[in-house]
Structure 1
Amino acid sequence: MSETVWNAFRETAQKNSYKTAVIYHGIELSYGELLSVCRRLGAALARRGVRKGERVMIYLPHCPQWVISWFGLQAIGACPVPITHFYGTRDLEYIAKDSGSQIVFCCEANYQNIEPLFSSGLFKDVIYTNTSEELPSWKELVNETIAKSRRVPAPAGVLSFDDMIRENGEAPEPGTRPEDLAEILYTSGTTGLPKGVPFTNDVYVWSTREERNIVAKVVPRGKAVILQGSPLYHILGQAQGLSGLLSGDTIVLLPRMDIEEVLAAIERYRTTNMFGTPTFYRMILEHPAVDRYDLSSLMWCYSGGDYLPPAFIERWKEKTGKYIYQGLGATEACGGITMTPGDEEIPEGSLGRVLSIWKAKLVDSDTMEESPIPGQGELLISSDHMIRGYWNKPEDTEKSFITLGGRLWYRTGDIVRIDEKGWVYFVDRSGDIIKHKGYRVVPSKVEKVLTEHPSISAACVVGIPDQELGEKIKALVIQKADKGPVEEQELIEWCKKRLAPYEVPHWVEFRETLPTSPSGKILRRKVRTEERQKMAKS
């Protein structure tokens, strides 16, 4: 298959011209309309000198302009660099310099973070939009939820997104090849500065299509109504959401992840597909309004970014009658590595099987010696359709990508078990293992036991250095708001009944919140660093 992202989208849009592509605040944008406005934006960008391969940052919240910007850049062979709209000036400066981006799309809510970088000359062009401008001007929005008073005129010297999409013209044919850059996504930076992950068109189309093939066993291509439950700048949000526009599906965009708005959107638009992190599903299940909404249209509920215990999946099934499919993925894999299929009985606790585009092997994390399958070890993956390394990060590339037997392999850092039938089970992150009294304690196992307590909604377990024991075990937990208080000793006794003696936490600390990535995943390494810094000061 030799395809590009733009060709795949254009062909899909032409075949489904009158079908709804995007829903936002109740307003529908058809595939034909979306294709037209993306072409106009691409033409306007090309007239202003944007070249094939040029990196352009998308610094926008969820809104139609985000989607139009991304595909408008694809139309001329330019390379989108999507980032979270919550970043401040320091992060913007780092990513702009690292990616080589000199143009940025932004909005009224975050222009103040762009302005000093624009004034300094780091950005040569800023394309500004009001998120209250909603859809193109010919799609006037009358929904009262968007206050017209929020409209802020474009600052002097910047380009107006609204003006650019009004311009007539066709985007020039870019001559994009499968091996050309389609996008650079930045990892959330759980281990230092964010790393750019460059996807070629070939990698993006192959990976997202493979993932859609698994979903198609439950919801056929072109039949899905997808609630965009994870950020568009995150690989989960692209592989399970945005890429649906390459298959003729409909995407429901919400400006923010308010849980009651999520529930209302599922009922109103008869959503078939939903995805998010385990935190997202817990918030839904524990929301007081969940029983007031009709969720019967859901067919494909998918969780990624972290492991979801079987006990929670059972609670979800009891409440909604739906199963939560899971998978193991990575930005570096352009999405899924494993996924649970919709047409087989799934063993409890499994994250599915390795997708067909990947070769997989297990190794000892320290020696790189291959482990047998079935067996346990660090998961390595390889494909003819994979990235070759990080953007401008040769040292990080050397740590994460390794050549074995003449093939390039990506080190996922995930310790997994693969059984004799190929089912994959998550054990832990290789760098997160706690070494206590000579034992290797798996934090996620302890966290699973803690979150099974009826009063605990989230947990993070880390190792604290100890001269005699190697590391002691500390648990940080969040209590459920609707449950009575629980004492530290009660949780320790709870763990003693369910864990080996060497796995029981030495301390339990109660927190209101725990640090999370933009996608909602608890940042265990950040917690561990904070706890060790506190200990060093004491």
Structure 2
Amino acid sequence: MFTRHFEFWPKHLPKSLPIPESTIYDNLETTTKRYPNKTAIVFYGTEITYEQLHKEVEQLAGYLQQELEVSKGDRVLLYMQNSPQYIIAFYAILRVGAVVVPINPMNVKDEVAFYLSDCDAKVAIAGQELMPEIEPCLGVTPLQHIVVAAYSEYAQQELDYEVPPVVTEEKLIFISSAITGWKEALLAGHKAGPSGGTSDDLCCLPYTSGTTGKPKGCMHTHKTLQATLVGGAVWGGATPADTSLSTLPLYHVTGMQHNMNGPIYLGGTMVVMTRWDRDVALTLMERYRVTRWTNISTMVVDFLGNQNLKKEAIESLRMIGGGGAPLPEAVGQKLFELTGLRYVEGYGLTETMSQIHQNPLDRAKLQCLGVPQFDVDARVVDPVTLKELGPHEEGEIIVTGEQVFKGYWNRPVETKGAFVTIDGKEFFRTGDIARYDEEGYFFLVDRVKRMINASGFKVWPAEVEMSLYKHPSVQNACVIGVPDARRGETVKAFIVLNDSGKDTSAEEIITWAKEHMAAYKVPKIIQFLDALPVSGSGKILWRKLQEQEQQKVEG
């Protein structure tokens, strides 16, 4: 067990934390009994109590179970932006013992079709603005029915701050027996049967990509979710009196756990934003006396660049932190001068349902992953020999703990390769290269193999390459990450055109890519080559291109 950090462990916290053996849905039910009249959600002027939230979860659960025949273990796709409906749908799916499959609302129809087919989801709950991407999947994938939601049904109009157009858009009408409107589903009058889930039941299947380029579903149980939402709440000193600003996307494990499931477990209030807007965030922080804000560092950089920012507007903040990318030291200092708070960085993966490391609130280090959390055994090993390494030696992070996933959905080979047994314990291989200092604080050295970190979004080159190969003019493609002043990193594609596509322009390829992949994956830079560098076995030498790009930057 790695214990080097115990000397610097927060004095008021235990080193071990028991994990609830109840389900995530049980958390909502318990909180509703405790605080029925407390505001659970604030959404563009509308306040929703826990009693109302619970009632609508029950109504939707009844429709899913009785009308759409969703039963225990079934996968239900959740394809929506941050909204009350997202939260209601998430808990309604769990209420009937089904499995939430949360996907990025930036995904386009080819990607959505893959997820539906891979997890065999027959039912989806989607935002109406995303129907052009998911409706074509009816009948050509396992998808049989869609419940569609309009965010405007929960938002107030004519507010004194800007509301995203997607939230103000009027409800659309869909004429199809395979599509049900949100309100129609709630008012159908169906009641779900008794909930009988256990903590070991599969409940969430978020997707991550791998070196093969194919996204993989990470199998998480109620217990793996409880581990990080309870651990995060205790570590961060959260209470039922807290009001959180929910700006991270709820489909992402960090947003899911810290902006939704954590507050519901405690009975806190969530101020939900559908789209990031620094002016609106400032208004909401001041108006609702926000106490906690978990985010990505790019949001903080943008927020602190607001000319309208005044110290008194954010004086209610008690905790601010997140991950995704290191926060620049100068930005962290400016934040401290404004709030008296140190930015609390953490580290986790989709496979670990958010954090496995986090900085202590009273002893945080900038640009640092933090220390292993409650009951987490994290080590740094040689990625080839698996020999455990010491302080300041660079190697792969391996980890074991209650939050570690149960394997990749229907991918036994990849699952086997993701774990290794050391000292009689099974460790997950993160693929991240890191080191730790004498005090047991971990620091990231290199990203997971080839992963590109663009504004906190994980972009996997192999996945982008696979899409580019579908372009009729592309013969060969290699994708790398290059430095970008705004995004941290951005996507660059080296492309060899085939004979029939010699006149194809970079702009044509970028336009095509926007139709076939999520916006954050689209290459922003295209460079045409006559040939890609390859090894003797014919393997594309992506690292050589990466090194050449780095030399340009250094030059």
TM-score, normalisation: structure 2: 0.75
Measured against aligned partners, the alpha-carbon deviations of 1:17-47 in whole angstroms (never above 9, x if no partner) come to: 1111111011110111111110111111111
Query: What amino acid sits opposite 1:54 in the alignment?
Result: D
Find the partner of 2:106 among 67, 79, 86. Answer: 86
Measured against aligned partners, the alpha-carbon deviations of 1:234-277 in whole angstroms (never above 9, x if no partner) come to: 01101211111111111111121122111111111111111221
1-side partners of 2:243 and 2:117: how far apart?
38
The answer (yes or no) to whether the contact 1:365–1:430 under 8 Å persists in 2 is no
1-side partners of 2:140 and 2:212: how far apart?
29
The answer (yes or no) to whether the contact 2:28–2:265 under 8 Å persists in 1 is yes
Measured against aligned partners, the alpha-carbon deviations of 1:95-142 in whole angstroms (never above 9, x if no partner) come to: 00111111111232111112221143631111112222227xxxxx45
Cα distance, 1:159 vs structure 2: 1.4
Find the partner of 1:8 among 27, 34, 37. Answer: 27
1-side partners of 2:318 and 2:389: how far apart?
37
1-side partners of 2:404 and 2:328: how far apart?
30
Change (3 A) 1:3 1:533: farther
Q: Residues 16-35 of structure 1: matches in 2 within 5 Å?
A: 16-35=35-54
SS at match of 2:227: helix
Query: What amino acid sits opposite 1:171 in the alignment?
Result: A
Gaps of 5+ in 2: 1-19, 462-479, 488-512, 534-544, 546-555
Q: Residues 284-323 of structure 1: matches in 2 within 5 Å?
A: 284-291=303-310, 294-323=313-342
Change (3 A) 1:254 1:384: closer
Change (3 A) 1:346 1:85: closer
The answer (yes or no) to whether the contact 2:345–2:367 under 8 Å persists in 1 is no
2-side partners of 1:62 and 1:267: how far apart?
21
SS at match of 2:60: helix
Change (3 A) 1:533 1:192: farther
Query: What amino acid sits opposite 2:256 in the alignment?
Result: Q
Q: Residues 478-489 of structure 1: matches in 2 within 5 Å?
A: 478=485
Change (3 A) 1:384 1:296: closer
Change (3 A) 1:106 1:346: closer
Q: Tell me: higher relative CO, structure 1 or 2? Use CA pairs within 8 A at least 6 residues apart.
A: 2
2-side partners of 1:302 and 1:24: how far apart?
22
Change (3 A) 1:265 1:36: same
In the alignment, which residue of structure 1 is the partner of 2:221?
200
In the alignment, which residue of structure 1 is the partner of 2:385?
367
Measured against aligned partners, the alpha-carbon deviations of 1:417-458 in whole angstroms (never above 9, x if no partner) come to: 22333222222236369xxxxxxxxx99xx9xxxxxxxxxxx
Query: What amino acid sits opposite 2:483 in the alignment?
Result: L
SS at match of 1:431: coil
2-side partners of 1:346 and 1:76: how far apart?
41
Query: What amino acid sits opposite 1:88 in the alignment?
Result: V
In the alignment, which residue of structure 1 is the partner of 2:532?
536
TM-score, normalisation: structure 1: 0.77
Cα distance, 1:63 vs structure 2: 1.2
In the alignment, which residue of structure 2 is the partner of 1:352?
370
Greater mean deviation of Cα atoms: 126-135 or 262-271: 126-135
Measured against aligned partners, the alpha-carbon deviations of 1:57-108 in whole angstroms (never above 9, x if no partner) come to: 1111111111110011111111111111221110111000111111111232
Query: What amino acid sits opposite 1:178 in the alignment?
Result: S
Query: What amino acid sits opposite 1:179 in the alignment?
Result: D
Find the partner of 1:236 among 251, 254, 264. Answer: 254
Query: What amino acid sits opposite 2:142 in the alignment?
Result: L
Query: What amino acid sits opposite 2:198 in the alignment?
Result: R
SS at match of 2:485: strand
Greater mean deviation of Cα atoms: 528-537 or 13-22: 528-537
CA RMSD of aligned residues (A): 3.4
Query: What amino acid sits opposite 2:358 in the alignment?
Result: M
Gaps of 5+ in 1: 136-140, 434-442, 448-459, 463-472, 481-514
Cα distance, 1:381 vs structure 2: 0.3
2-side partners of 1:151 and 1:196: how far apart?
32
In the alignment, which residue of structure 2 is the partner of 1:280?
299
SS at match of 2:143: coil
In the alignment, which residue of structure 1 is the partner of 2:201?
180
Cα distance, 1:356 vs structure 2: 1.5
In the alignment, which residue of structure 2 is the partner of 1:43?
62
Question: Within the alignment, does 1:133 sit opposite 2:153 as a pair?
Answer: yes
Cα distance, 1:379 vs structure 2: 1.1
The answer (yes or no) to whether the contact 1:413–1:431 under 8 Å persists in 2 is yes
Query: What amino acid sits opposite 1:193 in the alignment?
Result: K
The answer (yes or no) to whether the contact 1:210–1:357 under 8 Å persists in 2 is no
Greater mean deviation of Cα atoms: 348-357 or 81-90: 348-357
